[in-house]
Amino acid sequence: MGEITAVVLGVMQDGGLPHAGCLCRRCQAAFAGEGVDYAACLALVDGRRSPAGVWLLDATPDIKYQLHLLAGALGEHPSRPGRLRPPDGLLLTHGHMGHTAGLVHLGPEAMAVRKLPVYAPAGLVQVLQDTALWRPLVQLLDLRPLVAFQPLALAPGLTVTPIPVPHRDEWQAGTVAYRVQGPRRSLLYLPDIDAWAQWPAARDTLAGVDVALVDGSFYSPAELGGRPPVAHPLVPETLALCAGLPGRVLLTHFNHTNPLLDEGDPGRGVVQAAGVGLAYTGQTFQL
């Protein structure tokens, strides 16, 4: 009997690793093929049916590689020999590049999907529909606006609930985290937030799930090279928030500058001592 599983398909900030135009040692190594990783993404796989039900949380610039990681679950397209079956749906957290750019691979130039359900905050659905550049693609999709805090049933025993969170919003399109509830366990997927202090429900929300994958973009301001602060909580702030929480918290959405990407970095010991983990591509959670 199959199970419902959450699969981590990438843990990097929007630009992935390597980062375009970057000459840092970490990106140089990745350009040479060492340590390549994808933009943050999570898949939900319902193995209780055949073919499996597959949903992606966010459509990243690396979606073609991430779909390939799911080839065994997706299986072959029913009417296009030599092609993968599309996923059963996508759920977008917000409108930034690392979370929507993968939609272009669904259009007529690539996968040419037909009426693929794409769930998103209502404001983001409106932006996609109103942007001329997106119209040829949008016509192939089935855009479905979400209602905040209203559970969406993807399959028996599997629901996803959008929870609004504060994050820079250039188009008033909204940003959500997703609370995933399976038959046995719950998971929160929250790759982007501006600051924990701006979200009074943060600690209670994290405490209410078995596993939480949360924004770990930057460890310290030193990563910014003198640039203004970026709208993400620093890792030490997240560790303080999570102190004593009953569930399992893991960091994701790492910027390519984050020292936690190095196995020998002392910050990893600080994170571990706080009872927090680092998500990694290929990691799975039974729900």
Is 30 a member of any domain?
yes
Pick the residue with more confidence: 13 or 226? Answer: 13
The whole-angstrom separation of Cα 266 and Cα 284 is 26
- DSSP H or E segment with residue 273: helix 266-273
Q: Which domain CATH number covers 217?
A: 3.60.15.10
Tally of domains in the chain: 1
pLDDT at site 170: 86
Judge whether 287 lies within some domain: no
Across the range 198-213, mean pLDDT stands at 97
Domain residue limits at 90? 4-279
Terminal CA-to-CA distance of the chain, rounded, Å? 14
243 assigned to some structural domain: yes
Query: Does the pLDDT value for residue 246 go beyond 90?
Result: no
Query: Where residue 54 falls among pLDDT bands split at 50, 70, 90?
Result: very high
Mean pLDDT of 68-93: 94
Residue 14 sits at the vertex; the CA angle it makes with 57 and 181, to the nearest 5 degrees, is 20
Those residues whose C-beta lies under 8 Å from the C-beta of residue 269, and which sit 6 or more positions away, are none
Residue 111 lies in a domain: yes
- Tell me if 284 is assigned to some domain: no
Task: List residues bridging with 12 in a β-sheet.
Answer: 39, 254
CB 183, CB 223: distance < 8 Å: no
3-state SS class at 44: strand
Report yes or no on 181 lying in a domain.
yes
Predicted TM-score (pTM) of this structure: 0.96
What is the C-alpha to C-alpha distance for residues 168 and 239, in angstroms, rounded to an integer?
22
Place of tokens 């997927």: 189
Burial of 50 per CB tally in 10 Å (0-12, 13-18, 19+):
exposed
Mean pLDDT over 257-277 rounds to 95
Q: What is the pLDDT of residues 61-70, one digit of tens each?
A: 999 999 999 9
Q: Are strands 4-10 and 284-286 parallel, antiparallel or unpaired?
A: antiparallel
Does the pLDDT value for residue 1 go beyond 70? Answer: no
